[in-house]
Amino acid sequence: MIRHKFKLKYVLFGMLSLCMVWMLLACQKAQTVDHIEHELNTVSEPKVQDLDALCQELDGEIQNLDHQRGSLALEQINQNLRMCLQVYNFEQQMQVMDAINQMYGRFLQVARSPEEQQALEHYAVEQYLYPTIHAEHYALLNARDRYLIRHQGQFYLELYINAKQEVRYRRQPQYLAKLFAIYLPEAEKQFIQQLAQQNERALIKQQSLLLSPQQLAERAQFWQNYLQTYPNSYFKKDAQYLLQVYQALLFKGTTKSAVSYLYQDLADIQPSSLRVIQALAEQPHGALAEKARKFIHFMHMSDAQRAAQIDVAEPLDDSNAQQKVLQQLNQYVGLIDFDIEHPQKDCFSDAICYEI
């Protein structure tokens, strides 16, 4: 009997000890969890504060970067910009985009002598014609030019010849498409990505179109659809201008790539242009289709009918009959005059438009 009581006390004592151990472990676990959560909060809070400070300092870094700085400073700004764009609101994103555009303008400035400018122009032509051959004019370039040329492609930089045949540096259009667009609302994202793609290559060279009529029609249709899909886009006015430009190029062309020189009947129209315009005219809906139908109707009108229905100022001299016909065509179809060398705004070198 005594032995039985002793065993019972032993079991009860063991169970009590085990319970105390469990309680102790539970308290330690709770303290550990609280400690870990406190540590996590302590670590994450400075990270948010650090990002806020970084983005506040970014504006000053952008303003201070100019042609005397190097590629490492530029790349650091771009890295910081990628983080800050994720937390900026839309207004801040547009403000920093404008600041970045000005920054690149300063960064790409080069003060050259007339001889250095001539050497750069010769170098650019040589590279355009013979890109795999080391140009003989490279050694004559300004030191800053040599630096920028060595770093082409590393921070979206390239040397190119614009529509006026001027040698310029430019930030490649894909910069805004890859760095900015992914953080923007859908309307602005689509605008930048599409324009970046369109402006990868030149539109016109020495007054000759580098796009086919079909490509012109596709671009005009894109901007028409864009305006219908995103009527409140931040870039609405620029999209309207792009639509007008591609309509003008589609129905009139350029000085050296004219759709027609006489505009007397359909036989005067370039065959490739006529096929595209006729196909557009068969579409049941859309302003572009309506313009195509008006264009074809205009081509069937006699001079007397045009004079009676379309009131335009008479040219100063009778020898400039084409000028009058183009004025009539503009008014009847609803087209603008477009000269790539003197555009209303520059929408053809980057992923956004710039006022001139």
258-276 pLDDT, tens digit per residue, is 999 899 999 999 999 999 9
Residue, of 51 and 81, whose pLDDT is higher: 81
Averaged over 303-324, what is the pLDDT? 81
pLDDT at residue number 137: 79
pLDDT at residue number 160: 86
Q: Name the band, by pLDDT with cuts 50, 70 and 90, for residue 33.
A: very low
Task: Check pLDDT > 80 for residue 23.
Answer: no
Q: What mean pLDDT, rounded, does the chain reach?
A: 86
Say if residue 183 is exposed, middle or buried (CB neighbours under 10 Å; 0-12, 13-18, 19+).
Answer: middle
Q: Name the band, by pLDDT with cuts 50, 70 and 90, for residue 296.
A: very high
Q: Name the band, by pLDDT with cuts 50, 70 and 90, for residue 8.
A: very low
Query: How would you label 140-176 residue by residue, b for 16+ Cβ within 10 Å and e otherwise?
Result: bbbebbeebbeeeeebbbebbbbbeeebebbbbbbbb
Task: Check pLDDT > 70 for residue 327.
Answer: yes
DSSP string computed for 167-233: EEEEE-THHHHHHTGGGS-HHHHHHHHHHHHHTTS-SEETTEE-S-HHHHHHHHHHHHHHHHH-TT-
Cα–Cα distance between 145 and 63 in angstroms, integer?
A: 22
pLDDT at residue number 315: 66
Q: pLDDT digit string (tens) for 196-240?
A: 999 999 999 888 999 999 999 999 999 999 999 999 999 999 999
Averaged over 303-321, what is the pLDDT? 80
Number of helices and strands (H, E) in the chain?
Answer: 13, 6
| DSSP-assigned beta bridge partners for residue 354 | 346
Domain positions in the chain:
185-355
pLDDT at residue number 60: 93
Task: Check pLDDT > 60 for residue 1.
Answer: no
pLDDT at residue number 11: 42
Averaged over 283-292, what is the pLDDT? 96
pLDDT at residue number 50: 87
